[in-house]
Chains A and B, each alone.
Chain A
Amino acid sequence: MNLEDSEIISEVLDGRKDRFELLIQKYQSKVFTLVLRLVRDRETALDLSQEVFFKIFRKLSDIKDPRRAASWIMQVAHNSALDWLKKRRVDALATDFDDQQTQQRMFPFLQDRVNVSPEDIVDRLSPSLLSELVDRLDVKYRTVITLRFVDGFSFKEIAEILDLPLSTVKFRKHYALQLIRDRWLELAKNGDG
């Protein structure tokens, strides 16, 4: 059975609390992925994600348009993670890519190669390496990349979630991709040297 979010919400508001579990199951991975990318600690992300769904349950009657539940849920998740970062004063900025160990671990194939084509580099690119590159982006770029590429939201939905103009979201995506690309090649180049 694949109920629409609005149907599930309507049932929960009618007193069928247990139906809320369907909404959790549908969005738990997306919420957890975003929160984990932002706070970068699994246990904290688990606790925060639980809080997110608890908060959503309590505020369910406040939802203005149940058809846009997905954006609303992700907005709560995003705000919760940002609040946590602010409270903890965690440095959410990117860390530099000047770690030689990281270079060697990521690009061992470059150690004994002189001329490497883009195809060679792409062949050795993996989702796990990209995951690390994304983790080192500033939080605002990390958020857009995670929502777009990992969680699969459209730019329009991301603009709603982050309450930003569509053009800003697209700029952040563009800039984030360039940053990832530059750091990726920087690693490859240094590793080559």
Chain B
Amino acid sequence: MEPMDKCKEYRELIPEFVLDELDAVEMDRLDAHIGACHRCRHELVLMRGLTENLAAVEEADPGPGFARQVMSRIHSETWLERLSRLISTILDSRPLRVAVPALALGALLLLVIPPRAIRAPSGDGAGPELAARPSMGLYWTGGSIVVNNRSHPEAESGRLTLEKGDSVRTTASTRLTMAYPEGSTVDLDENTRLLVKTDGVFLSDGKIAASIEGLEPESFRVETKNAVITHLGTQFTVEAGDGRTHVEVASGRVGVTTDRVNDKVLFPGQFATVVGGGELEYGSLQRPVAGVNASLAPENVDVRFLY
């Protein structure tokens, strides 16, 4: 048997051995040693098991509708975004990356661009671009809500706003309305958890009722773990939890996309239930669509939003 320090040397080669990365001479040397060394053989078993299991780790799945969302953003890039990108490129390419030219260009933009393009008016049906969507107001009753892991009492209702990337959770007996600037509302039932995204929300758990106004079709989405629900001009509810997503349509239409089904369109009075890996069942409701509560947001949308 070869000495222990020789074993150490051989063991260093074992990861490459199992990955077939050694040259023929080293491979033969190690092979011969392993045949005679119990400890190194054990090491080989461990490393082979480790690399084989590593290779069996599956790629993560971004979920249904990912490619479509990116394409939707590409198709909807506005001239304002293109212009700001051009300005960024110009500034990046020169040693002028200082505040003065940026401010000068900003001032120029304000002069050139009509105010309507920056400040999205509400209720005119024009549909502001989602990328430019400002923060939305939060109105709730029944107790506290949790925004980004921080609890807020009912006394703060109407004084908080949400932006892309924020998470919100309602506690037991709390009802919450998220009021979007263009007039849309998303009502959250108690014990509901969601994340605000650029183009809608990701609903992890609980139930929401969405009433979408003033947005172009397909520009607002509710994502869950196994489905993407796309607004096509409508009012609808989505319930998610325990690997199941349930959608009901009160008015207009919605599209439902899963790993197995591409954009199943639902009409008023219809429902769809998505389970597990994306199997979808749909049909007609035998009752009216049950919302989560009447919207809590005040009617005058102009005072609700901070730009």
> A residues engaging B (CB < 8 A)?
17-18, 20-21, 24-25, 28-30, 32-33, 36-37, 43, 45-47, 49-50, 53-54, 57-58, 117-119, 121-122, 125-127, 129-131, 134, 145, 149-151, 170, 173-174, 177-178, 180-181, 184-185
Contact B165 A47 (CB under 8 A): yes
Instruction: Choose from A24, A36, A129, A149 the contact partner of B55 (Cβ within 8 Å).
Output: A149
- Chain B residues whose C-beta falls within 8 Å of the C-beta of A54 in the assembled complex: 70, 73-74
Chain B residues within 8 Å of chain A by Cβ, number = 38
Report the minimal beta-carbon distance from A135 to chain B, rounded to whole angstroms.
11
Report the minimal beta-carbon distance from A79 to chain B, rounded to whole angstroms.
15
- Chain A residues whose C-beta falls within 8 Å of the C-beta of B195 in the assembled complex: 43
Which of B60-68, B170-178, B210-218, B297-305 forms part of the interface with chain A? B60-68
A45 to B195, CA, bound (A): 13
Which of B43-51, B112-120, B151-159, B235-243 forms part of the interface with chain A? B43-51
Report the minimal beta-carbon distance from B82 to chain A, rounded to whole angstroms.
9
- Chain B residues whose C-beta falls within 8 Å of the C-beta of A134 in the assembled complex: 54, 57
Interface assignment of B58: CB less than 8 Å from any CB of chain A: yes
Contact A17 B62 (CB under 8 A): no
Contact B60 A33 (CB under 8 A): yes
Contact A174 B71 (CB under 8 A): no
Contact B62 A29 (CB under 8 A): yes
A46 to B56, CA, bound (A): 23
Q: A134-B57, A150-B57 are in contact. Are A24 and B15 (CB under 8 A)?
A: no
- Chain B residues whose C-beta falls within 8 Å of the C-beta of A121 in the assembled complex: 46, 49
- Chain B residues whose C-beta falls within 8 Å of the C-beta of A18 in the assembled complex: 71
Interface assignment of B42: CB less than 8 Å from any CB of chain A: yes
Report the minimal beta-carbon distance from B284 to chain A, rounded to whole angstroms.
33
Report the minimal beta-carbon distance from A111 to chain B, rounded to whole angstroms.
20
- Chain B residues whose C-beta falls within 8 Å of the C-beta of A131 in the assembled complex: 57
Q: A17-B75, A50-B70, A185-B46 are in contact. Are A126 and B53 (CB under 8 A)?
A: yes
Contact B54 A29 (CB under 8 A): no
Report the minimal beta-carbon distance from A155 to chain B, rounded to whole angstroms.
8
A18 to B71, CA, bound (A): 7
Interface assignment of B197: CB less than 8 Å from any CB of chain A: yes
Q: A118-B46, A145-B54, A174-B16 are in contact. Are A58 and B85 (CB under 8 A)?
A: yes
Identify the closest chain A residue to B16 (Cβ).
A174
Report the minimal beta-carbon distance from A23 to chain B, rounded to whole angstroms.
9
A47 to B69, CA, bound (A): 11
A173 to B51, CA, bound (A): 11
Report the minimal beta-carbon distance from A163 to chain B, rounded to whole angstroms.
20
Contact A46 B165 (CB under 8 A): no
The 9 closest A-B pairs by CB, nearest first: A122-B49, A149-B54, A24-B67, A32-B62, A29-B59, A118-B45, A127-B57, A33-B60, A118-B42
| Sample (8) of A-B pairs whose CB atoms are under 8 Å apart | A43-B197, A47-B198, A118-B46, A118-B49, A125-B53, A130-B53, A177-B47, A180-B50
Instruction: Choose from A32, A47, A130 the contact partner of B50 (Cβ within 8 Å).
Output: A130
Chain A facing B: main interface SS: helix
Instruction: With A43-B197, A49-B66, A129-B53 given, name 19 new contacts (CB 8 A).
Output: A17-B75, A20-B74, A21-B70, A24-B66, A29-B60, A47-B198, A54-B70, A118-B42, A118-B43, A118-B46, A122-B45, A122-B49, A125-B50, A127-B53, A127-B54, A149-B51, A149-B55, A170-B21, A177-B50
A107 to B206, CA, bound (A): 34
- Chain A residues whose C-beta falls within 8 Å of the C-beta of B16 in the assembled complex: 174
Count chain A CB atoms within 10 A of each CB in B15, B16, B21, B43 and give the residue with the most.
Answer: B15
- Chain B residues whose C-beta falls within 8 Å of the C-beta of A150 in the assembled complex: 54, 57-59
- Chain A residues whose C-beta falls within 8 Å of the C-beta of B54 in the assembled complex: 127, 130, 134, 145, 149-150, 180
A180 to B46, CA, bound (A): 11
Interface assignment of B202: CB less than 8 Å from any CB of chain A: yes
Chain B residues 61 to 110 lying within 8 A of chain A, measured CB to CB, are: 61-63, 66-71, 73-75, 85
- Chain B residues whose C-beta falls within 8 Å of the C-beta of A24 in the assembled complex: 66-67, 70-71
- Chain B residues whose C-beta falls within 8 Å of the C-beta of A46 in the assembled complex: 62-63, 66, 202
Q: A21-B67, A178-B15 are in contact. Are A151 and B53 (CB under 8 A)?
A: no
A144 to B26, CA, bound (A): 24
A151 to B197, CA, bound (A): 27
A46 to B63, CA, bound (A): 9
A18 to B35, CA, bound (A): 58
Contact A50 B60 (CB under 8 A): no
